[in-house]
């Protein structure tokens, strides 16, 4: 269990009322990944995160962070982990800088001689340099969230766990957090980001986990998950070539190829299911989609041309993360827990 930044096995939390908040979750977050932890409100994301960090005792199951068992090795592991969970808690009458200094002072492994530098660097990194001496109670919701991020970044971290980090941020702040996550990942930090903002997750994450009603419904590399759910090649061709296009696609192994009703301009659309290429060297530019045991999209286009099919348009439509999310969770807000 040492190859992953986070790994849980059978992680379960059952409350005294009998309610199961988290049910048998096997979470796998590879080192160096940006893992988007998705789910509707109440789906068990935050409870899972609290168990990962040793803040809540699981009813059953195991957790390893950075290769070490939790909570047994918490004292050794947690200094290498930065976290923002369920909104930051700070002293309202202290400034942002003073709040960070207070947190830094309780870290026995931190060098007190560089405490001011660490605090100032963290504040600048999240865009709070100009408000460093402003009292926390005067901060807006977005500024409070930024200060929570700064607290998580006081020290270099091997793992960063962020629960709804863009809560309360305006679009500019959200973009800055997205850029910060990418910057941290490029520097080698593993980042787990819990969110219900699908568009933001889709832009930044390399891996995805989707929670629903306390269970982990799906997880894996983002590109592979969209590939696994299937994509479609869509060809627009002159009506006279429609049958030939269908025949050629079926010859290539795309068995469900079918033509739609011709349109007024004399063209017809032919589509067929095709699974996206998941090879490591495949460019993620929307043109290299393929079945693992079949042709790449550009090979399909070339075969159609060789068969004498006139191409007026060629595209590959793959499911978005939102489509997968809705398929697995419904609308995503009618959650019993």
Q: Where are the domains of the chain?
A: 4-226, 230-318
Q: List pLDDT tens digits, range 308-322.
A: 999 999 998 877 777
Q: Is the pLDDT of residue 225 over 90?
A: no
Distance CA 285, CA 40 (A): 29
Residues in the chain: 337
- pLDDT at residue number 228: 66
pLDDT score, position 276 = 42
Chain centre distance of CA 90: 28
Q: What is the pLDDT of residue 326?
A: 80
Has residue 197 got a pLDDT over 80?
Answer: no
Helix residue spans in the chain (DSSP H): 45-52, 74-77, 96-105, 115-125, 141-152, 171-186, 198-204, 222-228, 242-251, 297-306, 321-329
Average pLDDT over residues 133-142: 92
Q: Residue 201 above 90 pLDDT?
A: no
Q: Note the pLDDT tens digit of each residue in 286-312.
A: 333 334 445 788 899 999 999 999 999
First-to-final CA distance of the chain: 30
Q: What is the mean pLDDT of residues 187-191?
A: 93
Q: Which two tokens stand for residue 204?
A: 């930044």
CA distance 165 to 272: 40
Lowest mean pLDDT among 18-32, 290-304, 320-334: 320-334
Q: Which of 48-62, 108-122, 199-213, 281-295 has the lowest mean pLDDT?
A: 281-295
pTM over 0.75: yes
Which contacts qualify for 122-125: CB closer than 8 Å, 24 or more apart?
Answer: 122/150, 122/151, 122/153, 122/154, 123/96, 123/97, 123/147, 123/150, 125/150, 125/153, 125/180
Query: Taking 60 as the threshold, does the pLDDT of residue 237 lie above it?
Result: yes
pLDDT, greater one: 286 or 96: 96
pLDDT at 330: 74
Task: Give the best-scoring range by mean pLDDT among 154-158, 165-169, 193-197.
Answer: 154-158
**Structure token pair of residue 250:** 């079926």
Q: Tell me, which fold does domain 4-226 have in CATH? A: Rossmann fold (3.40.50)
Per-residue confidence (pLDDT) for residue 137, from 0 to 100: 94
Q: Is the pLDDT of residue 161 over 90?
A: yes
Give the range among 5-19, 177-191, 226-240 with minimum mean pLDDT.
226-240
Mean pLDDT (the chain, rounded): 86
Between 193 and 324, residue with greater pLDDT: 193
The answer to whether residue 35 scores a pLDDT higher than 90 is: yes
Mean pLDDT of 59-65: 96
49: nearest Cα among 25, 80, 67: 25
Overall average pLDDT of the 2-15 stretch? 92
Percent of the chain's residues with pLDDT above 90: 58
Confidence category of residue 280, pLDDT binned at 50, 70, 90: very low
Fold that domain 230-318 belongs to in CATH: Alpha-Beta Plaits (3.30.70)
């Amino acid at each position: 269990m040492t190859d992953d930044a986070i790994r849980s096995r059978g992680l379960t939390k059952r409350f005294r009322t009998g309610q199961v908040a988290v049910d048998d979750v096997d979470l796998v977050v590879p080192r160096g990944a940006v893992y988007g932890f998705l789910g509707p409100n109440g789906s068990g994301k935050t409870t899972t995160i609290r168990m990962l960090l040793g803040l809540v005792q699981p009813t059953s199951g195991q957790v390893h962070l950075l290769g070490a068992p939790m909570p047994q090795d918490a004292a050794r592991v947690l200094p290498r982990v930065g976290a923002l969970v369920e909104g930051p808690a700070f002293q309202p009458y202290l400034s942002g800088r003073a709040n960070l200094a207070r947190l830094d002072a309780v870290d026995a492994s931190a060098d007190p001689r560089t405490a001011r530098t660490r605090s100032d660097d963290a504040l600048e990194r999240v865009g709070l340099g100009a408000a460093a001496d402003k009292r926390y109670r005067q901060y807006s919701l977005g500024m409070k969230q930024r200060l929570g991020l700064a607290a998580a970044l006081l020290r270099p971290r091997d793992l960063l766990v962020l629960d709804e980090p863009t809560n309360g941020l305006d679009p500019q702040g959200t973009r800055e957090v997205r850029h910060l996550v990418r910057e941290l990942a490029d520097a080698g930090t593993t980042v787990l980001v819990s969110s219900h903002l699908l568009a933001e997750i889709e832009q930044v994450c390399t891996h995805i986990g989707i929670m629903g009603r306390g269970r982990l419904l799906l997880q894996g590399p983002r590109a592979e998950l969209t590939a696994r759910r299937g994509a479609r090649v869509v060809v627009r061709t002159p009506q006279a070539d429609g049958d030939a296009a269908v025949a050629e696609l079926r010859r290539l192994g795309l068995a469900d190829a079918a033509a739609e009703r011709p349109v007024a301009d004399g063209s017809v659309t032919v589509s067929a299911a095709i699974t996206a290429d998941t090879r490591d060297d495949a460019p993620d530019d929307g043109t290299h989609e393929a079945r693992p045991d079949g042709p790449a999209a550009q090979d399909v286009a070339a075969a159609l041309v060789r068969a004498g099919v006139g191409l007026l348009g060629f595209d590959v439509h793959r499911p978005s993360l939102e489509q997968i999310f809705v398929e697995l969770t419904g609308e995503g807000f009618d959650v019993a827990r």
